[in-house]
Amino acid sequence: MTLKPLADRVIIKQIEAEEKTKSGIILTSAAQEKPQEYEVIEVGPGGIVDGNEVVMEVKKGDRVITGKYSGTEVKIGDDEMTIVRQSDILAIVIRE
């Protein structure tokens, strides 16, 4: 089963927490900080939302940061994903 977001919705999946620190110390699951970075899985078409035209700025594969409590969590099989509005996305992560 797959999901296709409507309008200005975006399906995102949380990126796994680091299991090791940069210095090589292995962290237990309780000590791992839950990251707020997500990967964009699917993007809606945009269009007219609440009387305003919405152009989708994120694309599939982007890494993004969202508000801590934004979106609706869904579970499809073993995959846990979140559906958010594009306006809930705070930034696109650009690695240089």
- Residue 59, domain CATH: 2.30.33.40
Residue 58 falls within a domain, yes or no? yes
**Is residue 3 scored above 60 in pLDDT?**
yes
Cβ contact 40:71 at 8 Å:
no
pTM score, whole prediction: 0.80
Mean pLDDT, residues 45-64: 94
Cβ contact 13:41 at 8 Å:
yes
Residue 43 falls within a domain, yes or no? yes
Q: How many domains does the chain have?
A: 1
Task: Give percent of the chain above pLDDT 90.
Answer: 65
Q: Which of 18, 44, 33 is nearest to 68 (CA)?
A: 33
Comparing 48 with 24, which gets the higher pLDDT? Answer: 48
Q: Which domain holds residue 80?
A: 9-16+30-93
Which residues, 6 or more positions from 19, have their beta carbon under 8 angstroms from its beta carbon? 26, 27, 32
Residue 66 falls within a domain, yes or no? yes
**Is residue 9 scored above 60 in pLDDT?**
yes
Residue 4 falls within a domain, yes or no? no
